[in-house]
Copies of this chain bind each other. A is one copy, B any other.
């Protein structure tokens, strides 16, 4: 076991099932499965989600649908059902190999009747053939001969937190293989699944098919002899009509095309794909083994979350790893997650940005519904690209009351965040084709949205954005949020520059685009004028930027005095009351400085960092805040602080620091972690002209090495502080 690559669990507790299901998550960019056990336990939350398979649901509008469970396997040993919670668990060890996503479990179990069995489970979700999952179980009876019975079904009545999404269509069985055809209730996405279950090298196997409608099940029965291991192999295939014309037939064919026992044949290309992945995306830290492992754990979770070939899916705030946010995507993708892909796997970044391009229709619809021009991207986005932020959610303290969620209405900065990510992608990749064909249309049509959304304050002679929510969601309905105003100004300038760039790049295509977008020189002039006259708060004396109009007048709360609390400030005071204080849920002005480092000199950054950090609920506010704090602390040379934040980000899910890891991986936190390394400790800066490094490593670190792709070239960064000091 390589401890720099392996997440390990050495004791089993039935009370920590859900957190560990998140930690032992597997996936391959097409689908993801939580680290549940093959056999069922009460309190588990086993899910398999497949990218893009959403269905309607009350309150949160749409959610990723929990698939029939391909993991399920019941093992009955000499008439006793295997359960780690029954009898005696003599040995237990589980590990996830981050190099290749292999999940292994070794168990020595004494049954209630006293029979001892060794069980070794292994499984992976193929990265080489993303429709396939493989499982192998080796069972050795140590002190008895008896019957062995294996049951494994595909349950099409799987639910999402008790809510059912599947309509059963068809099922069948042939030659060790069962199959199932399903459809989502409202979105009518057809799914085909098949599974093949066999015992290796065993002739006397009795095989049954239990043709129970909606829950077809295979049963194998044989005898097991003391000290003679038996190996069981289960392969499952999943297709959907999103990727295949006949998903049920394809599932069957896929399994039929495999050799009798397929593990070895499927394992080799899978490992090869993983090597390719890590070769580009690994980050090596020497001198800090815990940090190294946690870093890889987070990158692993980003890699398994991203589709390599589907331009119509995004990454959810909790990846494919849990019910949190129901698979919806936020600005988390563009601002927190994308840099990792843009710099190390630009093809994936391109897919993710293309998702926004393909969903421009939804963004235009939203702008229009709100009375604006152009494209206004939804705060939460899922299958259709329409706004899917819940408007009302039940109050957890009083089910007769509801809470109004305003982010879908007025957290508008996401449209500038997307423009920012496109610009970043273009800087790093020089992918002019993407910019010309897709990126430009997004940047220009969202700029047009800004132009219609901006409000002219005749008295102050400035453009304003009133009634918004900035990154700091503790304060809603605010006027002139600094992050929003500065970033929109930047966005509009980008749009103006882009118009010229497009003309230079391909005049005919550019004019075609302008015509299609009905964009004329008046519009460009207006972009320019608004960009110049947007109100950007800045106090030249204190060098402070006021987060929004009136922020400085709000009540100050000494967060230090409240250390040790286990809930957020909003949880303590309530929404309304928190709105009246200076407590931030996450950095807002600091966030802006992290995104546009060239716009603010160090002294301004320092003043604002000192002012806002102590006003930010970093422990229980948003998990998005800590990585930004770390990056900016690095920039200010506060490496101890930066490292402290880094650790909190790195162990968010492994150690369940925020108490909600069971809902799924904190994807923005994982993406932010990569940024704390690359933009923080390594000090990478870049723009359309080139890149530079300015490393300052945490004291214990002996080496920091990573690669990135710069305009088709692979850059190897290898920082060894000892050498630097020489």
Contact = CB atoms under 8 A, between A and B. Distances in A.
Contact of A215 (B185, B215, B400): B215
Contacts of A165: 162
Contact of A74 (B185, B210, B213): B213
A557 interface: no
A399 B155 CA distance: 30
A313 B164 CA distance: 29
Interface string A553-597: 000000000000000000000000000000000000000000000
A164 B58 CA distance: 14
Interface in A209-252: 210-215, 217
A12 interface: no
Contact of A401 (B153, B164, B391): B391
Contacts of A58: 58-59, 394
A551 interface: no
B215 A214 contact: yes
A602 interface: no
A378 to B, nearest CB: 12
Given A212-B212, A212-B215, A213-B74, A164 B153 contact: no
A684 interface: no
Nearest to A153: B212
Contacts of A278: none
Contacts of A394: 58
A401 B59 CA distance: 10
Nearest to A388: B400
Interface string A345-378: 0000000000000000000000000000000000
Nearest to A389: B400
A552 interface: no
A272 interface: no
A212 B214 CA distance: 11
Nearest to A387: B400
A181 B105 CA distance: 32
A120 interface: no
A159 B392 CA distance: 25
Interface residues of A, number: 29
Contact of A212 (B185, B210, B392): B210
Interface of A: 40, 58-59, 61, 74, 151, 153, 155, 157, 159, 162-165, 185, 210-215, 217, 391-392, 394, 399-402
A40 to B, nearest CB: 8
14 contacts: A58-B59, A58-B394, A61-B399, A155-B157, A157-B159, A159-B164, A210-B210, A210-B212, A210-B217, A212-B217, A214-B215, A391-B400, A392-B392, A392-B402
Contacts of A401: 391
A59 B400 CA distance: 8
Nearest to A404: B402
A210 B213 CA distance: 11
A279 to B, nearest CB: 44
Nearest to A394: B58
Contacts of A214: 155, 157, 215
A40 B168 CA distance: 12
Nearest to A156: B157
Nearest to A59: B58
A402 B401 CA distance: 12
A383 to B, nearest CB: 16
* The 6 nearest A-B residue pairs measured at CB: A210-B210, A157-B157, A391-B400, A162-B164, A212-B212, A212-B217
A212 B401 CA distance: 41
A190 to B, nearest CB: 15
A83 B5 CA distance: 57
Contacts of A153: 212
Contacts of A162: 163-165, 185
Contacts of A392: 392, 402
A180 to B, nearest CB: 13
Contacts of A74: 213
Contacts of A215: 212, 214-215
A430 to B, nearest CB: 41
Nearest to A159: B164
A213 B39 CA distance: 12
Given A40-B213, A61-B399, A151-B211, 7 more contacts: A58-B58, A157-B159, A159-B164, A163-B164, A212-B212, A212-B217, A391-B401
A212 B185 CA distance: 24
A399 B408 CA distance: 14
Contact of A163 (B163, B211, B212): B163
Contacts of A402: 391-392, 402
Nearest to A164: B162
A56 to B, nearest CB: 9
For A59, A74, A185, A215, the residue with the greatest tally of chain B CB atoms inside 10 Å of its CB is: A215
A481 to B, nearest CB: 23
A682 to B, nearest CB: 44
Contacts of A164: 157, 159, 162-164
Contacts of A155: 157, 214
A61 B391 CA distance: 19
Nearest to A167: B42
Nearest to A165: B162
A135 to B, nearest CB: 18
Nearest to A57: B162
A162 B399 CA distance: 21
Contacts of A391: 400-402
A61 B151 CA distance: 37
A165 B58 CA distance: 16
A9 to B, nearest CB: 26
A59 B392 CA distance: 11
A544 B685 CA distance: 84
A399 B163 CA distance: 18
A164 B61 CA distance: 18
Contacts of A163: 162-164
Contacts of A40: 213
A74 B214 CA distance: 13
A202 to B, nearest CB: 22
A82 to B, nearest CB: 14
